[in-house]
Chains A and B, each alone.
Chain A
Amino acid sequence: MSTRLRKGQAPTKRMAHVWDASKCIACGACVLSCTSTNNPDMMTREEKGWHSVASNIRRIDSVTAQGRPEVLLVQCQHCEDAPCLATCPFGATYMDDNGMIRLDPRMCAGCSYCVTSCPYNVRWFHPDSKLPKKCMGDTCLELVADGLQPACVQACPAGARDYGDLNDPDSSVSVTLRTKRSRRLLENAGTEPKYFVVEGS
């Protein structure tokens, strides 16, 4: 387990997910690869609250005013000022030295406070362990620790996903964010999310 940051400590890295909406073909490979990698037991079971596959990536389908179908993929934003971390009564939710918001299952009593505190509605309860699941899953964390990319990034056929360190100006995510137009979700919520939606060049 990587280092748990204590109050007032800053992470050495600021790992972030980037999703390029302009490249995404809405194939759903990332959603399913997340489940098959991190929660394979959920491949044939539904997330009852979302009425969808139980994945750490939530897919929102909509139609624009002009009648064009649109998709938004949401996952844990690894907020720099994470409300779920502020409210978790037992300290089960924490930030590690990579700036990732993590869960220590030993300390979780399943109170749901992190779920109601997350403005992005990205946590879901595993029906057996009753743990509030979210990105990153345990296996993705192992992949990353081994120097690989998370499952969703590896699975994407359109190259629409990326993961890297915002503190490193030469990282691919930093370069993308410098050169392309992007936005963050619920910018006004004060959460300082580290999930970026690229909208075009």
Chain B
Amino acid sequence: MAPADLHFQVDIAHWGWSIAWFLWFVGIAGMGSVAYYFVRKAALSYVIFGSLAIGLVLVVSHLGRWWNLPRTLWTMVTNGIFNYSSWMIIGIVLLSVHLLLTVILVASHVRWLQRIGWLKWTGSLAKASAYLIVYAFLGFMATVYSGFLLTQASGIPLWNTSLIPVLWVVSGSIAAIAVIELMYVFGLIESSVSTLAVRLGLGLDAIKLLAVLGFLHVALAYGSAGARIGATAMASGEYALMTWGGVIGIGILVPIAIGLYTVLVKKSKPLLAISSIAALAGVFFLRAVVLLAGAWEPLVL
């Protein structure tokens, strides 16, 4: 029987689809930045920039009082108030620096910009290993942040597990690999890189499958009533189709099947395109379902 006090956060706090898209874009940009260390292609830097920019526009437009943001920031600065215990403010700082470094990276790839004398430094800076290590680290941290953002929301027990940042990093890596495979489909990178990406993707898909099942199991078996309500909504309730069909079926099993076919039989660009899009969709569904299933601890059962 449903508890007397049953409320899903999406109905009150409204962290729904636009936040799911935001988390998805941050995952692509974040782990894409790690991938950039190994695959230094212009197209990847454009994808990272686009993802970050769209993600930030989405999250700002989702603010109930976005129009108050300049006053908010002004009051913060003039009063010397900085709540560094909030993952959200840590994330804002991380994403701003990440965006700045991405703009430099993009500029280093745009030929006509490199012809402008005072912008040439971007080209040399963006090639420096130290820069790319810092960039990859920031991307990783941005992905981790997007997980801890939920973990710290202590009103929603389903989210209060460090499995979420782990899931976000693993699935973000899968999204970055999917982008690399799509780049191969469009002839933007060599076949050898994509073969390696497919093998790596297979391993990560297996880890993601275990992590998703582990997440559900921990919440169902050991979680509080609120965590169990969320996990039940995911596993057998309102969001079961999104979990089993979207996250696991489309997002994990399809890429695993195509990945195995690619490794064991032959490589096919149309199949790799399907697998990449399925993997990206699965990464989105995962974020959406975890958000939508978030419920408060009932104060009365």
Contacts and interface: CB of A to CB of B under 8 A. Distances in A.
Nearest to B301: A62
A63 B81 CA distance: 46
Q: State the main secondary structure of chain A at its contact with B.
A: loop
Contact of B66 (A74, A87, A110, A131): A110
A121 B64 contact: no
B63 A110 contact: yes
B15 A61 contact: no
Contacts, number: 129
B83 A88 contact: yes
Contacts of A177: none
Given A109-B63, A111-B88, A116 B71 contact: no
Nearest to A72: B300
Nearest to B5: A60
B296 A86 contact: no
Given A72-B300, A107-B75, A109-B63, A116 B9 contact: yes
A119 B297 contact: yes
B268 interface: no
Q: How large is the interface on A (under 10, 10 to 19, 20 to 34, 35 or more residues)?
A: 35 or more
A117 B294 CA distance: 12
A107 B186 CA distance: 46
B76 A91 contact: yes
Interface residues of B, number: 41
Contact of A106 (B4, B72, B297): B72
Interface string A87-112: 11111100000000000101111111
Contact of A116 (B13, B75, B85): B13
Contacts of A83: 154-155
Given A91-B76, A110-B65, A185-B299, A115 B9 contact: yes
Interface of B: 4-5, 7, 9, 11-15, 63-66, 68-69, 71-73, 75-76, 79, 81-83, 85-89, 92, 152-156, 294, 296-297, 299-301
For the complex of A and B, the 5 pairs showing the least CB-CB separation, nearest first, are A110-B64, A49-B12, A130-B64, A62-B4, A110-B65
Interface of A: 48-50, 60-63, 70, 72, 74, 83, 86-92, 104, 106-113, 115-121, 123-125, 129-131, 185-186, 189
